[in-house]
Amino acid sequence: MIAARTLEQGSPRASSRAVELTTPSGIRIWHVEDYTVPLLSLEFAFMGGAAQDPVEACGLTNLLAILLDEGAGPLASSDFHEALEERAIELQFDAGRDRLEGSLRTLSENADRAFELLALTLHQPRFDQDAIDRVKAQVSAALKREESDPSARARETLYRKAFPSHPYGNPVEGRLGQFDTLTREALKGLHKRLMARSNLFLASVGAIAPQALITLIERTFADLPEKASLIEVPRIEMAAAGEREVIDLDIPQSTLLLALPGIYRADPDYMPAMVLNHILGGGSFTSRLWTEVREKRGLAYSVWSTLAPRQHAALFLAGTATSNERVGESLSVILSEIEKIVSGGASAEELEKARRYLVGSYALRFDTSRKIAGQLLEIQIENLGIDYIDRRNNEVAAVTLADMNRVGERLFRQGKPLVVVAGRPENL
């Protein structure tokens, strides 16, 4: 029996339909049946992610994600990868703060084998000690390189100061030294706690009928534990407002990051905030920050701002990289432009250009099967509704100057920014 709801996808792909399917064990998946090319793309996520790492085991979820395809069931690492290559199957996992994500891409004719290999990674990961040691050495080497990377150091410090005594304050990749101590037993414990049906989200696009997909999904995921055993992670507000932290690195160019409390994705003000941010620093070649920092003053090659909502916290971030002697001036210009957009608001022309760009560029997020599946997964996780693709552009077009003025007050008048600089900045 197929339980389904459908949605005509007007703007991204008019000939396709997104369908919500439910398997016999109750697993839901959003699917677009599309025979344009004989491919199937599956995107999935287990909610929890690196926020579930114990304090003494920072980086454990990252290690788990890397090791899931390093051998499973009867297949050791090299045999497993050979099995993927034999059928041109692409399978990868990635760890984020809020979830462990997976991606599967295969020719439709090889779907049975692809899902069989995926099932092995979910149910029977080997965690062979030689694979663990090899991956730990690789990640530790990368962490060592990041010790002299200004972008990595600035990002790690910003999150540590913004979210002290909270899982978000820990780096997803792990900490140098501590990462070496992670054990096979800890991996097995996290795998058992994290990978379950209750925190699973799925989306797929491709050349497969709904009933055939349901059979594959049920066969692959139904035997997972019903309930995940997740540590409760509280919501948190950004700390260290008004502080300025300098990480001393002997390099000629500094990386500058700025953070303020942000707006959650489910907040009714998120869409006006997205349009406002595009005008301020989100539009690569048209934003105010780009014009003032790069075009007029030549202070930096790039400058940006973004909304960074997560499951348990939300930030507004801005940043640039510039020569040490121009860090102070760059920060002053960024803060000045933030103040101007709050006190004077955006113009009607800026609003119209931003809406036109954001509406027109939305279809670019749906130009491959993988992108479509990824977007459906995000929409599902954020609980925006299966009709969001139809609603989204109308919501952008409905944003007014008054909406942005209200949101500007919320974003930029809540407090002073946290500023982190990695390098040897002058005039700061």
The answer to whether 280 and 404 have CB atoms below 8 angstroms apart is no
Per-residue pLDDT at 352: 97
CA 59, CA 53: separation in Å to the nearest integer? 7
Fold entry, domain 244-423? Cytochrome Bc1 Complex; Chain A, domain 1 (3.30.830)
Q: Which residues of the chain have pLDDT under 70?
A: 1-16
Report residue 17 as tokens: 């339909």
Exposure of 8 in the CB half-sphere (CA atoms within 13 A): 3
The answer to whether 306 and 401 have CB atoms below 8 angstroms apart is no
Q: How many residues comprise the chain?
A: 428
Residue of 120, 108, 102 lying closest to 65 (CA atoms): 102
Report residue 185 as tokens: 């037993």
Residue of 293, 152, 119 lying closest to 218 (CA atoms): 119
Tokens 């050349």 belong to which residue? 207
A 10 A CB-CB count for 33 gives: 16
CA 207, CA 315: separation in Å to the nearest integer? 39
Would you say the CATH fold of 244-423 matches that of 3-221?
Answer: yes
Residue 85 burial (10 A CB sphere; 0-12, 13-18, 19+): exposed
Coil, strand or helix: which one is 176? coil
Residue of 296, 373, 292 lying closest to 335 (CA atoms): 292
User: What's the Rg (C-alpha) of the chain?
Assistant: 23
Q: At what angle do helices 270-277 and 348-360 cross, to 10 degrees?
A: 100
CA 96 to chain centre: 7
The answer to whether 12 and 366 have CB atoms below 8 angstroms apart is yes
pTM (2 d.p.): 0.93
Report residue 328 as tokens: 């102070």
Per-residue pLDDT at 6: 41
Dump the DSSP string for 376-389. HHHHHHTT--TTHH
Per-residue pLDDT at 5: 42
**Pair type for strands 28-33 and 90-95:** unpaired
Per-residue pLDDT at 12: 44
Per-residue pLDDT at 7: 40
| Angle, alpha carbons 7-8-12 (nearest 5°) | 115
Query: What residues does each domain of the chain span?
Result: 3-221, 244-423
Per-residue pLDDT at 415: 86
Per-residue pLDDT at 305: 98
CA 230, CA 192: separation in Å to the nearest integer? 10
Residue 78 burial (10 A CB sphere; 0-12, 13-18, 19+): exposed
CA 193, CA 211: separation in Å to the nearest integer? 30
Fold entry, domain 3-221? Cytochrome Bc1 Complex; Chain A, domain 1 (3.30.830)
Residue 41 burial (10 A CB sphere; 0-12, 13-18, 19+): buried
Per-residue pLDDT at 284: 72
Q: What is the DSSP letter of 417?
A: P
Q: Which residues are 410's β-sheet partners? A: none
